[in-house]
Structure 1
Amino acid sequence: MIFVLKRKWDAEAVRMYQQEQQKRLEGLEKQLKEAIREAKKAEKEAKAKGKAEGLAEGLAEGEHKKSIETALNFKKMGLPIADIAKGTGLSIEEIEKLN
């Protein structure tokens, strides 16, 4: 009789251990899925931020090139360098270097 009870208790202990391990595994899988979701979200945000920064940088560069073109045209027209600097936002040194 004792052996039968011992086997029953052992079987129950094994079953309970397996259930605990299954719950632990499910929790780890849930954490992994959440971590993957957060990583994808962060990657998407980083790409969007990089794209916005690149766009802003490109626009600023384009505006600067346009200011240089305008300054060259004004310089060819014979306008004073101080006036060209005021109108284009370029420094006097930058305008003097233009040919």
Structure 2
Amino acid sequence: MIFVLKRKWDAEAVRMYQQEQVEGLEKQLEGLEKQLQEAKEAVVIAKAEGERKKALETALEFKKMGLPIADIAKGTGLSIEEIEKLK
């Protein structure tokens, strides 16, 4: 009888340990998924900033070339006010 109880206790201890391990891994996975989402958002922001910087650089070069500001705005997607501020 004692051996049967010990086996049950051992089996329950193993099951509880496995459950704790699963819960720990699930928490780690949630953390990694959050980090991945944050990284994706950072990439989108960095890409948008890079595109804006390139548009400003292009607009400045066009402005130096003497192109009409309205045409520069149309070609770069920047506002006329933004282009007028460029030096």
**Pairwise TM-score range, normalised by the shorter structure:** 0.7 to 0.9
1:75 corresponding residue in structure 2: 63
Pairwise CA distance, 1:27: 3.6
Which of the two has higher C-alpha Rg? 1
2:67 is aligned with 1:57: no
Structure 1 distance, partners of 2:75, 2:28, is 46
TM-score, with length taken from structure 1: 0.70
TM normalised by structure 2 equals 0.78
Which residue, out of 87, 90, 94, partners 2:75? 87
One-letter amino acid matched to 1:49: Q
The worse-fitting range, judged by mean Cα deviation, of 66-75 and 24-33 is: 24-33
Q: Are residue 31 (structure 1) and residue 19 (structure 2) matched? A: yes
Q: What is the alpha-carbon distance in structure 1 between the residues aligned to residue 7 and residue 21 of structure 2? A: 21
Structure 1 unaligned runs (5+)?
Answer: 1-11
CA distance in 1, matches of 2:47, 2:27: 30
Matched with 1:9 is none
Unaligned runs of 5+ in 2: none
Q: CA deviation at 1:76?
A: 1.1
